[in-house]
Amino acid sequence: MEITGLEQAAAWRDRVLPPVESLRPGLWSIPVPLPNAALRYVLVYLLELPDGVAIIDAGWDTSEAWEALAAGIARTGHRIDDVRVILVTHVHQDHYGLAGRVRAASGAWVGMHEAEAATLLRRRGDPEDLIEHSRAWLALHGVPAAETAELAGSVGRFAGMLEMPEPDRLLSDGDKVDLPGWNLRAVWTPGHTPGHLCFFEQDAQVLFTGDHILPRISPNISVYADVPDNPLKDYLASLAMTGGIAADEVMPAHQYRFRGLGERTDQLRRHHRERLTELLGLLHGSEGQTAWELSANLSWSRPWAQIRGFMRRSALGETLAHLVLLEDRGQVIRTGTAPQRWFATVG
């Protein structure tokens, strides 16, 4: 794998924002800072149009992020009110948070996948009911009562997500996006979220990967209280598909640009195979463990004691995603009572 975003990689190493960069004629990257997040910034990509610009993702809805986005767009010779199109990889706050504000300022249309629109929190009912459902889900998977309240979330935590706007257009896999001067197609890559989209510029052979493929970090693939399906199965299928795209350069939403798409997808698939093997090793010979107990005993980038707050919920979600895939393959089973306990099957 070859790092092509050298200034971005240096900024990542030095824990500072990278510069606004011209990447190709008419194509720019704009770093937008994140509040109190380990990823530090999201890379918004700007594509120049005959009558304005399009952006891929928008950043978190904070004053600092808004100012950085506006300044970055100005650096390209344009203004916020020149934005005609906002393409959304997925609706996590660091990608979708500012989309409504940009649309209000510019009149741009917002496009995302139908499966992603279905996950918008505003569609799912009262926040208090969501929090109570989350508490019950955490208890089901063995989270101690002392940690359930913190990990279940709060109305304040949900506030930004509840205000996320509805899209104007829904994009399907393979759709050509209406951007004059560009040959851009939507690529549906479920896993990180149900409706995650990448965008492939076929003439330049550039793949915008959102959070689907990052150069060093393994994207979070989780089962959540409201996403009970098999996201890791979806993600591995998406990786196999995107690994075959003839992209000359990969432009992720975090960290830095790189070449070697097939090599990176192979690395990510290998990582998940190793995690599946590790989980089976913990379960073989045991009398059953909860997903929370398994999470605490898995190997992470830091010791479990140093993983605090909502990061523990993310770890639990990842563990469950691997367990659900193993269950789908017939290699583990779980009890139906709370808390659920997981067992390796015999043979």
- Name the band, by pLDDT with cuts 50, 70 and 90, for residue 225: confident
Contact present, 180 and 74 (Cβ < 8 Å): no
Q: What backbone phi and psi angles, to 5 degrees, belong to 116?
A: -75, -40
Indicate if the pLDDT at residue 346 is higher than 80. no
Indicate if the pLDDT at residue 126 is higher than 80. no
Indicate if the pLDDT at residue 104 is higher than 70. yes
**Close Cβ partners of 334 (under 8 Å, ≥ 6 residues apart):** 323, 327, 340, 341, 342, 343
* pLDDT tens digit sequence for 165-179: 899 999 999 999 999
* pLDDT tens digit sequence for 133-167: 888 999 999 999 888 888 877 656 666 666 788 99
Query: What homologous superfamily does CATH list for 2-123+164-270?
Result: Ribonuclease Z/Hydroxyacylglutathione hydrolase-like (3.60.15.10)
The structure tokens 């003439």 sit at 203
In three-state secondary structure terms, 153 is: coil
Alpha carbon of residue 89 to chain centroid: 8
Mean of the pLDDT values across residues 222-243? 90
Provide the 10 A C-beta neighbour count for residue 258.
23
For the chain, the domains span 2-123+164-270, 275-344
pTM of the full predicted structure?
Answer: 0.94
Indicate if the pLDDT at residue 220 is higher than 80. yes
User: Angle formed by the axes of helices 261-283 and 310-328, to 10°?
Assistant: 80
In three-state secondary structure terms, 239 is: helix
Q: What backbone phi and psi angles, to 5 degrees, belong to 67?
A: -65, -40
Q: What is the pLDDT of residue 151?
A: 85
Average pLDDT, the chain: 93
* pLDDT tens digit sequence for 15-69: 999 999 999 999 999 999 999 778 899 999 999 999 999 999 999 999 999 999 9
In three-state secondary structure terms, 116 is: helix
Mean of the pLDDT values across residues 253-269? 97
How many whole angstroms separate alpha carbon 47 and alpha carbon 64?
22
Residue 94 burial by CB count (10 A; 0-12/13-18/19+): exposed, middle or buried?
buried
Q: State the fold for domain 275-344.
A: Arc Repressor Mutant, subunit A (1.10.10)
Contact present, 247 and 263 (Cβ < 8 Å): no
